[in-house]
Amino acid sequence: MQSIVKQRGITLWGVAFIIFVGVFFLFLAFKLIPPYMTDWNVGSALKRVASQPGASGMTPRELRASISKQFDIDYISSMDPYNIQISATDSGETISSNYSVEVPMMGNISALLYFNHTYQVR
């Protein structure tokens, strides 16, 4: 008579659960990575404008025009350069953007992402 050896391994339900969790996180990544990449481009464009030579002597209109050009270079079409706040402080001007993006997930479920960038013009 053969002895019964304890079975080890994963069941079909376990495999289905692991696949479901993997697909769920892949779905989240496909939906949420594009807004974060756009925000990274917005932040780098504002940083380039704030640190470019002669930026401290520019008027707010010239800064907005420079931001608009950087947005065109980086293919940023989801944000208007006129939504960027340019304010005067004691140490110079500050460029800041504070915005949110609503990403529809499925049905009536959405993800709301908040982004904020502030750079001192040098």
Other CB atoms within a 10 A radius of the CB of residue 20 amount to 10
Residue 54 DSSP code: T
pLDDT of res. 89: 84
Output the pTM of the full model.
0.82
Order of strands, sheet of 85-89, starting from the edge strand that comes earlier in the sequence: 85-89, 92-106, 109-120
- The secondary element (H helix, E strand) that includes residue 53 is none
- What sign does the CA torsion over 7, 9, 12, 17 have? positive
Mean pLDDT, residues 54-78: 92
Q: What is the pLDDT of residues 27-43, one digit of tens each?
A: 999 999 999 999 999 99
Cα separation of 38 and 24, whole Å?
A: 22
pLDDT score, position 3: 64
